[in-house]
Amino acid sequence: MSDDNRISRRTSLKGIAATGTFIAGAGISANTVSAGKNDEKKEKTPKEREHEKKEKEDPDGVVDIVGVDALDFQQCHGMAILFDQDYVEAVADDDGVLKALRIRMYNARHDRIENYDRTVTIDDLRSSTLYGEGDVGDVFAYTFNVYQFLDRPIGAGDSIVAVTMDGTTIQNPNECAEPYQRTFEGEGVFDLDDISLQAVCVDSERGLARYRVRNGNHTQIEAVYDVEDTDESGTIAVEPYSATYFEVAAPEGEATVSIAADGETLDERESATGTECIPRDAIAFNTECYDPVEGAARFYVHNGTDRDLTFVIYVAETGATGRITVEDSLASAETFWVPAPDGEASVSLYYEGEVVGADVSDPDDTC
């Protein structure tokens, strides 16, 4: 590095942040749940006392879910399901399928509830170090970030409301989700014209295509989907004025899906091959330099997509985590700093729980 890029000894971390975000704390640890407190003293009802007792005995609400050790919510936007190691190893000898999930979200942009139906496999499990555990091999975690799933920078209104597994629904205990913890049941007359299918994105590496069924009716509907030229089909439940996401097998990202309701075919869409759900090949990420005075390393990330993206950052040596948003702009790039006490910082960049970039700072390459 030239002296033009050298940071003055007088430069504080505040000054560093002016030329890049400083990632200093474990800001996204999924086990730092903030459920909200009410300081006002009032007598609890018998029902509240019973609920409180149950919460103490089973704080995660997953005691009856086979193979699941814990469900950790990170405020509004993130969650991690921690699976039992013996259960994972037993499933590995079978078909690799761990759980069928329904993740309930509130989409603030459209002011509606949306559900994501997802089958979690062994290949979906990620490093436990992101979620408060010291050893990668000790915990098997499936993670979900609502802002990455909705494909936009983190927003104050979007939230994970609940997760359903094996018929058990676990509500997000944080206040941000409370207004949307309701369900819509029942049957009634509905207008077929108010049911539509959209292709959202593809995951070419996993061989999947993501779709969304929207229901503009005042009653819940069930839509049947079929994948052309395959035996794959299924039923999607969509609440009133809501949407449900689902995924189908799509070799090389290509699939054609149709939906039907009340015995009538309503819509047909080819997969959105032009949009990757996880932009693995569109992100440039590398270390730039190390500042020995501040004990911090600078990293660079370039967003090669045509949309704003927010990434999760993880530093292996310190456990520091955070987020960085790279907008779709003329620059389409951002820099950030992470603590690197000994000059080396092993940094991974995550999107939808997958590593899309990784690099290690060099203590000899000073700023």
Cβ count within 10 A of residue 149? 23
- The whole-angstrom separation of Cα 221 and Cα 26 is 42
**pLDDT, position 5:** 25
Indicate if 192-270 has the same CATH topology as 3-28+278-360: yes
Residue 170: per-residue pLDDT = 93
Give 254 or 331, the one with higher predicted confidence: 254
User: In this predicted structure, what is the pLDDT of residue 152?
Assistant: 85
Quote the pTM value: 0.79
What is the CA 122 to chain-centroid distance, rounded?
17
Report the candidate in 247, 314, 320 with the shortest Cα–Cα distance to residue 26: 320
Domain ranges, ordered by start, for the chain: 3-28+278-360, 46-180, 192-270
pLDDT of residue 163: 96
The predicted-structure confidence for 52-95, as pLDDT tens digits, reads as follows 544 554 556 788 899 999 898 888 888 889 898 889 888 877 78
pLDDT higher than threshold 60 for residue 138: no
pLDDT digits (tens, 9 = 90+) for 233-244: 999 999 999 999
CATH topology for the 192-270 domain: Immunoglobulin-like (2.60.40)
pLDDT of residue 215: 96
Query: Per the structure block, which two tokens stand in for 65?
Result: 């879910």
Structure tokens given for 338: 């992470």
Higher pLDDT, 19 or 16: 19
Look at the chain and count its residues: 367
Mean pLDDT of 273-292: 95
Res. 248 pLDDT band, cuts 50 70 90: very high
Is residue 177 pLDDT above 50, yes or no?
yes
Alpha-carbon gap, residue 259 to 269, rounded angstroms: 9
pLDDT tens-digit series, residues 36-56: 233 344 565 554 454 454 455
Q: Compute the distance between CA of residue 339 and CA of residue 335 in angstroms, rounded to an integer.
A: 14
Separation CA 342–CA 248 (nearest Å): 46
pLDDT for res 45: 58
Residue 126 is predicted with a pLDDT of 75
- More confident position, 100 or 76: 100
Beta-bridge partners for 322: 313
Q: What is the pLDDT at residue 95?
A: 80
Q: Which CATH number fits domain 3-28+278-360: 2.60.40, 3.40.390, 3.40.50, 3.40.1440?
A: 2.60.40
Output the pLDDT for position 182: 72
Q: What is the pLDDT of residue 167?
A: 92
Mean per-residue pLDDT over the chain, rounded: 81
Q: Tell me, what's the pLDDT at 10?
A: 25
**Mean pLDDT, to the nearest integer, of 172-177?**
88
CA 284 centroid distance within chain? 21
Q: What is the pLDDT of residues 339-350, one digit of tens each?
A: 998 999 999 998
| Confidence band of 30 (pLDDT split at 50, 70, 90) | very low
pLDDT tier, 317 (very low <50, low <70, confident <90, very high otherwise):
confident
Instruction: Write down the pLDDT at residue 14.
Output: 31
Residue 326's nearest CA partner among 277, 355, 285, 281 is 285
* pLDDT(187) > 90: no
Q: Hey, which residues does 160 pair with through a beta bridge?
A: 105
